[in-house]
Amino acid sequence: MEEEIVTLTRDMIACKEEAWCRFHERYYPLLLAQAIARGIPAADAPDIVQGVYLRVLRHGKAFRDSGNLEAWLACLTRCETIDAVRRSKRRSWLGERFQQWQEARRDVHAADITDLDQALESLDDSERRLLSRHYLEGWSQEEIASEQSTSTKAVESKLARLRRRLRGELENLNTCKS
Residues of the domain holding 77: 1-87
- Residue 1: count of CB within 10 angstroms of its CB: 6
83 & 113 share domain = no
Task: Supply the pLDDT for residue 112.
Answer: 65
113 & 82 share domain = no
Separation between Cα atoms, residue 84 and residue 77, nearest integer Å: 10
Task: Supply the pLDDT for residue 136.
Answer: 81
Domain-located, residue 144? yes
**Which residue, among 119, 144, 118, has the nearest Cα to 133 in the 3D structure?**
144
Domain-located, residue 36? yes
Separation between Cα atoms, residue 20 and residue 16, nearest integer Å: 7
Residue-level pLDDT, tens digit, the chain, 178 residues: 578 999 999 999 999 999 999 999 999 999 999 999 998 999 999 999 999 999 999 998 899 998 999 999 999 999 999 988 887 776 666 666 667 666 666 655 555 667 778 888 888 999 989 988 888 888 889 999 999 999 999 999 999 999 898 888 888 877 776 6
CATH of the domain at 61: 1.10.1740.10
Q: Are 78 and 52 in contact (CB under 8 A)?
A: no
Domain-located, residue 76? yes
Task: Supply the pLDDT for residue 149.
Answer: 94
10 & 71 share domain = yes
- DSSP SS3 for 38: coil
Task: Supply the pLDDT for residue 86.
Answer: 83
